[in-house]
A and B are shown apart, each in its own frame.
Chain A
Amino acid sequence: MDGPDCIFLFNPSTSYQLYVSDLARDGDGQPARDEVWPPGVAQKSVSSNLVISEMAGICCGVVGEGETPTPMEPSRPSRRRRLDLLPLKYIADMAVPPPETGAKRQKLDLCTSSPTQPRDCVNAVENCEPSGVKNEEENNIEPKGDAILQSTISLLNSTATTAHGNNTNEAINECPKYGVTSVCGRRRDMEDAVSVHPSFCQEKGENHKEFHYFGVFDGHGCSHVATICKDRLHEIVKEKVGGSREDLEWKSTMEQSFARMDEEVQNWSQTNQSSTCRCELQTPHCDAVGSTAVVTVVTPDKIIVSNCGDSRAVLCRNGVAIPLSSDHKPDRPDELLRVQAAGGRVIYWDGPRVLGVLAMSRAIGDNYLKPYVISEPEVTVTDRTDDDECLILASDGLWDVVSNDTACGVVRMCLKVQNPPSPPGSPGTDMAVCSAADGSDKACSDASILLTKLALARHSTDNVSVVVVDLRREKEKQESNSNDDDDSNNNIIE
Chain B
Amino acid sequence: MSSSSALPSSAVYLSQITQNDNFEGETFHKFFDCWLAEQNKHLDDLFAAESSSSSKQNSNNNNNNIEDQDLKPLIDRVISHYEHYYEAKSMWAKQDVLAILSPSWMSSLEEAFLWIGGWRPTMAFHLLYSKSGLQFEARLRELMEGFRVCDLGDLSASQLTQLDRLQRKTIREEREITEMMARQQESVADASMVELSHAVSEMMRRKEGGREREKEREMEERVEETLGMKKVGLEEILKKADDLRVKTLKGIVGVLTPKQGIHFLIAAAELHLRLHEWGKKKDARKETMTRKTSSTPMLYNIAFIGDSLEKK
Contact = CB atoms under 8 A, between A and B. Distances in A.
Interface of A: 8, 10, 12, 15-16, 135, 137-138, 160-164, 181-186, 188, 190, 410, 413-414, 417-418, 429-431, 433-437, 445-446, 449-450, 452-454, 456-459, 488, 491-494
A12 B224 CA distance: 10
Contacts of A491: 145-147
Contact of A456 (B132, B140, B143, B189): B132
Contacts, number: 114
B188 A430 contact: no
A449 B185 CA distance: 42
Interface in B43-79: 61
Contacts of B158: 163, 430-431, 433-437
12 contacts: A10-B185, A162-B157, A162-B161, A162-B165, A163-B161, A183-B160, A186-B129, A437-B158, A453-B133, A453-B155, A457-B136, A488-B145
Given A16-B188, A436-B161, A445-B157, 20 more contacts: A10-B185, A16-B197, A135-B165, A135-B168, A160-B161, A163-B160, A182-B164, A185-B129, A414-B144, A417-B144, A429-B148, A429-B156, A430-B156, A433-B156, A435-B162, A453-B132, A453-B160, A454-B140, A456-B136, A493-B147
Contacts of B162: 435
Nearest to B231: A12
B145 A492 contact: yes
Contacts of A429: 148, 156
B122 interface: yes
Contacts of B197: 15-16
B62 to A, nearest CB: 11
B129 A163 contact: no
Q: What class of interface size applies to chain B in its complex with A?
A: 35 or more
A interface SS class: loop
Q: Which 3 A-B pairs have the closest CB atoms?
A: A457-B133, A434-B158, A163-B157
Nearest to A410: B144
Contacts of B169: 135
A454 B165 contact: no
B122 A188 contact: yes
Interface string B123-144: 0001001001110110010011
B161 A184 contact: no
B160 A162 contact: yes
A10 B101 CA distance: 13
Q: Report which residue of B148, B162, B197 has the largest number of chain A beta carbons within 10 angstroms of its beta carbon.
A: B162
B136 A454 contact: yes
